[in-house]
Structure 1
Amino acid sequence: MQTTKISDHLSISAQPSLSEFQGFRDKGFAAVVNARPDEEEPGQAGNAAERDAANSAGLSYTFIPVTGATTTEADIRAFQSALAGAKGPVLAHCKTGTRALLLHTLGEVLDGRMEPDDILAYGQSFGLDLSSAIKWLARHYARRPLVKGFYDPRTSSVQYVVSDPDTGNCVIIDPVLDFDEKSGATSTKNADALLAYVAENQLIVEWILDTHPHADHFSAAHYLKEKTGAPTAIGERVVDVQRLWKDIYNWPALRTDGSQWDRLFAHGDQFRVGSIDVRVLYSPGHTLASITYVIGDAAFVHDTIFMPDGGTARADFPGGDARKLWHSIQDILSLSDETRLFTGHDYRPGERTARWESTVGEQKRSNPHLAGVTEDAFVELREARDRTLPMPKLILHALQVNLRGGRLPEPEENGRRYLKFPLDALKGAAW
């Protein structure tokens, strides 16, 4: 099979056969990047088989499945990370090599090492048409707001800094406070990365927003408020979640009026990020209090809809409801097909790289929980799947913190903080 050398560190190719992987090592390659989604055509080897072939050949392997219409900045950055982490030359492939070169080229342009006017000639020098890169950049630069996602692999969570490029104002959505359940240690590594991005880009934080009280990570909202002075907010139905969990925790001192946040948003509330309009949708189902933030042409849909290959969120937490989740999702899908959707988690199906951006149209077409599915079928599917899922490992830890806006328990007389959680209060044991 012919490979095309792009640089000393990167070569591209069309789809290789599995028998060729052993030869890649002999040719000096240390890693393979597969940029091709599974099942594009009959007889395609696919991700799982390629991963096995790469492992057998002693090659590192990364799966970044993209199409021209669905490529996101997360894919571009994942491609760059795969190259940076490889211990030698990388062979990247798709069907023809074009998408592999597209990911590389867009990264060069975004980082200022290549001018957009040079893209077509660059592609032609390798015999490939990169006109789709020109179109991608035009869409990228026209979007409002700008969205920077930060993925936390320990909790599979996605945090966002969402900014107005015209004013430099921004909001932070669903920030993570680091917690290691084995040692009990806490850290602000994730939150400090958000602050570093804000400082580097000279942004002004207007709001720190949570979409709901999270069950799988601690919220860094309180810490970020202390650092930035920006107000915190969540949906007004958080008071119902507080009342529910106050009983579960036997926690008489917990205030259940939502006063731990500076503002409680109701369905239909509006505000602005700089010059960009924001609208709040009440989106129950995953939790009683879940809300969606529609900011310009982007909607932050928390744990209602995952990426199309990941389906939808569970609805079996206390206060959850699969039928309500269906109706919340339909409200989101009633937005224009071009609306960008940003999810709160990505569990990386097929061990692909993390992704968090899709569109309404893409979800309608290709999410197997939604495309061509009726309400009753969705409820049956969701409830059946939820019965197989254990509770998140941090649910009893996290809600003690998140019901108080990200505040850790107060130190006791010895100066240490302690979490308390009930035994046998929830269904869904790991065994």
Structure 2
Amino acid sequence: MTDAVTPVASATQISDKLFIAPQPELGAFPDLAAAGFKGVISNRPGGEHPDQPSPAAEQQAAEAGGMAFHFIPVTATTITEADVRSFQKAVSESTGPVFAHCRSGIRSANLHAIGEVLDGRLARENLPALGGQWGVDLSVAAQWLAREAERRTRVKGFFDPRTFSVQYVVSDPATGQCAIIDPVLDFDEKSGSVATVNADAILRYVAEEKLTVQWILDTHPHADHFSAAHYLHEKTGAPTAIGAHVVDVQLLWQSIYNWPELKTDGSQWDHLFENGERFTIGSLDARVLFSPGHTLASITYVIGDAAFVHDTIFMPDSGTARADFPGGNAEQLWDSLQAILALPEETRIFTGHDYQPDGRAPRWESTVAEQKTRNAHLAGVGKSKFVALRKARDESLPMPKLILSALQVNIRGGRLPEPESNGHRYLKIPMGALGEVEWGQ
């Protein structure tokens, strides 16, 4: 493959399948394809420099040459494990050599090196020697791994592409105790089928890591996926919990569903958290912030140096949650956002959804500092402007396709309707309950 990298003279072979290089020109893509490359990875955020091709232009050029394209944008200070795993997946699933680049190739090399250390194929102390061998500075990888080793709060994210949801296992390395946050119960709205693929993946991880589930936590009753909290409670025996204001959501939806027999006291969960309440996961200290605005009951779990915000804040390139669901309020959402952004700037923010703008790989971790400076809806914006922007944007958004199905399950802690006389379960869909929609021509 030596001649294969002539379009980018400084390309370096890192492994059997991986080559790293500086930013290629679009005109080089046909040469890459002709040389046998089967994939291109861009690790450069769009718009980093006015002269760089856009991700969309790179994708078009790559696919025109029969190469897969993967957009995994990072900076030296924003690399997360999700980025590392997406990079590994893009390389491992390629049918042939992969050409990875950023501005210089350094970020691509560091992503690869972090993955090698995480998976035990490379010792951290050998990074300087390997960097010398490649002619690449791997100090970003060394610093990232050092920070990760010092963390007391271990976070594993599970992305569900069907609902764009992120589920978490948060564990204490010192005790092996963990909490599961916002687990997804699989539901296919076309067939009415339910499955436990996501939840079982979480259980496998818990078993492989020899963890003990101490809590099963939801941040709010979800409108775009079913909760697997009840299923996981049955499997593990761990208590379920949600914010105390879930009773307000139950009352609201009891009326919408015309469901007088629904219990609206929150008794479907083992514990209801009050604002400011503190608890533990092993030796990790945790507390609850009441974060209304997206829903009446939304809460944030602050566990060690990590905050789990679900829909309240998305990744910086996606902005913030909508506030037009029944019980939502844009003014309250702003106040909740300010409370979260008042956490220490190094606090890690873990979101509950990622809609992959510009086709990038899924990401779900940022920091308070990053959100303050880069969030598309918050950076340099005051309350009045935010509220106006939020309301205007919400008016243009369709309702989630599962909202009417999901809420009747999720306001009961993830319990499905009881089987009827024929053995089948039935969901109840109130027609016209959420107002009019814009009908296409």
Same fold (TM over 0.5): yes
- Once the two structures are TM-superposed, the CA of residue 120 in structure 1 deviates from its matched residue by 1.2
Q: State the Cα distance separating 1:427 from its structure 2 match.
A: 3.1
- Scaled by the length of structure 1, the TM-score of the pair is 0.99
Question: Does 1:340 pair with 2:353?
Answer: no
2:399 counterpart letter in structure 1: M
Does residue 115 (structure 1) correspond to residue 123 (structure 2)? The answer is yes
Q: Does 1:315 align with 2:326?
A: no
Residues 242 and 71 from structure 1, CA distance in 2 versus in 1: closer, same or farther, beyond 3 angstroms? same
Alignment of 1:109-258 (within 5 A): 109-258=117-266
Deviation of residue 430 (structure 1)?
6.3
Q: For residues 201-234 of structure 1, give each alpha carbon's deviation from its aligned partner in whole angstroms, at most 9, with x where no partner exists.
A: 0101000000000000000000000000000000
Question: Could you tell me which amino acid in structure 1 is paired with residue 152 of structure 2?
Answer: R
Is 1:425 matched up with 2:433? yes
Q: Which amino acid aligns with 2:209?
A: N
Deviation string for 1:147-182 (max 9, x for gaps)? Answer: 000000000000000000000000000000000001
Taking the aligned partners of 2:436 and 2:376, their CA distance within structure 1 comes to 25
The separation in 1 between residues aligned to 2:76 and 2:188, in whole angstroms, is 39
Instruction: Determine which of 265, 290, 312 is the counterpart of 1:282.
Output: 290
CA spacing shift, 1:428–1:84, aligned 2, 3 Å: farther
Q: Structure 2: give runs of 5+ residues left out of the alignment.
A: 1-7
Change in 2 beyond 3 A, CA 1:192/1:385 = same
Mapped partners of 1:197, 1:261: distance in 2: 24
C-alpha distance in structure 2 between counterparts of 1:188 and 1:233, whole Å: 20
Could you tell me whether the CA contact under 8 Å between 1:391 and 1:430 is conserved in 2?
Answer: no
Q: 1:61 and 1:102, CA in 2 relative to 1: closer, same or farther beyond 3 A?
A: same
Counterpart amino acid of 2:320?
T
Amino acid at match of 1:146: R
**How far 1:428 moved relative to its partner?**
6.1
TM-score by length of 2: 0.97
How many residues are matched? 431
Matched residue of 1:308: which SS? coil
Distance 1:244 1:46 in 2: 46
Task: Report the counterpart of residue 16 of structure 1 in structure 2.
Answer: 24
- 1:260 corresponding residue in structure 2: 268
Q: Say which SS state the counterpart of residue 177 (structure 1) adopts.
A: strand
Q: Is the 8 A contact 1:35 1:65 kept in 2?
A: yes
How far apart are the structure 2 equivalents of 1:68 and 1:267? 36
- CA distance, structure 2, for counterparts of residue 336 and residue 185 of structure 1: 43
SS in structure 1 opposite 2:134? coil
Q: Distance in 1 between matches of 2:223 and 2:131?
A: 46
CA distance in 1 between partners of 2:233 and 2:140 (Å): 41
Q: Tell me, in whole angstroms, the C-alpha distance in 2 between the residues paired with 1:341 and 1:265.
A: 20
Change (3 A) 1:343 1:428: farther
- Bigger shift: 240-249 or 40-49? 40-49
Alpha-carbon RMSD across the aligned residues, in angstroms, is 0.8
The letter of the residue matching 1:8 is D
Superposed counterparts of 1:25-174, under 5 Å: 25-174=33-182
2:4 aligned partner: none
Q: Which runs of 4+ in 1 moved over 2 A?
A: 427-431
The percent of aligned pairs where both chains have the same amino acid is 65
Question: Counterparts of 2:29 and 2:152 in 1: how far apart (Å)?
Answer: 43
Structure 2 residue identity aligned to 1:163: S
Match of 1:364 in 2: 372
Q: 1:337 to 1:276 in 2, by over 3 A?
A: same
| Structure 2 letter corresponding to 1:4 | T
SS of corresponding position for 2:77 = coil
